[in-house]
Amino acid sequence: MDAPLDELLAELDVELVDSSITDATFFGAFIEAPDGSRILSMPPGRSAFERDTAARMLLAERFGLDAPLVPAPLEVTRV
């Protein structure tokens, strides 16, 4: 989890794409497509810090990586 985000995404075989969702309460979504590809969809226009932090929280949650719990009021929802 300490690697630069680009390296972490490559290691986990995850593609980062811009989301069309611009709602201020949406930080991103991790999607596993039926073909097995993995996508991390995140809203554009956020600060580099916010984008990096949200990406790492979503990746840690999905892959069960050792990372701090998501702080309140944020929450990770599985659908």
Tens digit of each residue's pLDDT (9 = 90 or more) over 41-64: 999 988 998 899 889 989 988 888
Q: What is the mean pLDDT of residues 14-39?
A: 93
Cβ atoms of residues 61 and 29 within 8 Å: no
Residue 55 Cα to chain centre, angstroms:
3
The answer on pLDDT for 34 being more than 80 is yes
Q: Of how many residues is the chain composed?
A: 79
Where does the pLDDT of residue 11 fall: very low under 50, low under 70, confident under 90, or very high at 90 and above?
very high
The answer on pLDDT for 8 being more than 70 is yes
d(CA 72, CA 4): 25
d(CA 42, CA 46): 9
The answer on pLDDT for 66 being more than 90 is no
